[in-house]
Amino acid sequence: MAEGFEGFGKRLADAVAQRGPLCAGVDPHPALLEAWDLPGGVRGLETFALTATDAIAPHVAVLKPQSAFFEAYGAAGIAVLERVLAHARQAGALVLLDVKRGDIGSTMAAYAQAYLGEDAPLAADAITVSPYLGFGALEPAFAAAEASGRGVFVLARTSNPDGAGLQRADTNGRTVAQSIVDDAARRNAGAVPLGATGVVVGATNRPGELDLTGLNGPILAPGFGEQGATADDLPAVFGDSLPSVLPASSRGLLREGPDATALRAAVLRTQESLLRVACRP
């Protein structure tokens, strides 16, 4: 781990304690740019992304830009993404870059360097990765994250309906999704207060589908908000693991723009709904 750099689990726990568990997405979807009455091209992308980041990042523990919507604009879009990362850091938010990379050997090592390397222009506090070329193939990402005090969130049981067939498939008495959770748990064993290997588990999934009790790491929960899951659904889906959950909302917040005050108000309303659930006896 880089000298003087706290581990991701500790930094995340501190940020959530200060700002709550909400993970706010910055997804510059073309339909949202149109709804904000912004021009097409990079100029509209930049206005959208920086307006959302500057309004939301000071009030959340984690900001999650979706890389694909920036990559679609080529080099100019990647330059905007770099600015989003910088603005979020200045606002005190951790950045979880949603890139879902997953490959083998030197290619995975190159992805790890691009997003988790100490001096990489696109380095984030954490990234999402896909384990479907094998959990062990992600080792370069785990190693890079450990060396720099960053985190990795591994797709386990995602919120999209198309993932159910593969992720619920049985492998020697465990589902594929459960095997991924268990592999992540082994990496997090003994970490205090949390390990740096998180998993992605949709908030719209069936209660009791996964055993998350031994994970000792963060859980990114897409499907919260626009995709249908509410704060009231979270205790049933995640049970005793609820304190480790980062409910993720993107469109449900971003549709409140372009007014910065309305964006901030949406964030605060969402945080209040999560707090009410967390405080229930």
Q: What is the rounded CA–CA span in Å between residue 185 and residue 181?
A: 6
62 neighbors 20 (Cβ within 8 angstroms): no
Active site residue 10: no
| HEC profile of 97-165 | EEEEECCCHHHHHHHHHHHHCCCCCCCCCEEEECCCCCHHHHHHHHHHHHHHCCEEEEEEECCCHHHHH
Q: Which residues contact 261 (CB under 8 A, 6 or more apart)?
A: none
Cβ neighbours of 193 (radius 10 Å): 13
Q: Which residues contact 275 (CB under 8 A, 6 or more apart)?
A: 20
Residues 10, 29, 89, 100: which is the catalytic one? 100
* Three-state DSSP class for residue 194: coil
CA 154 → CA 42, 72, 122, 262, distances in Å? 30, 23, 19, 32
Cis status, amide bond into 28, omega within 30 of 0:
no
185 neighbors 212 (Cβ within 8 angstroms): no
Q: What are 61's two structure tokens?
A: 């523990």
Q: What are phi and psi of 100, to 5 degrees?
A: 50, 45
Using left for φ > 0, alpha for ψ between -120 and 50, and beta otherwise, residue 249 falls in: beta
- What is the DSSP secondary structure assignment for residue 229, as one 8-state letter? B
**Catalytic (active-site) positions:** 100
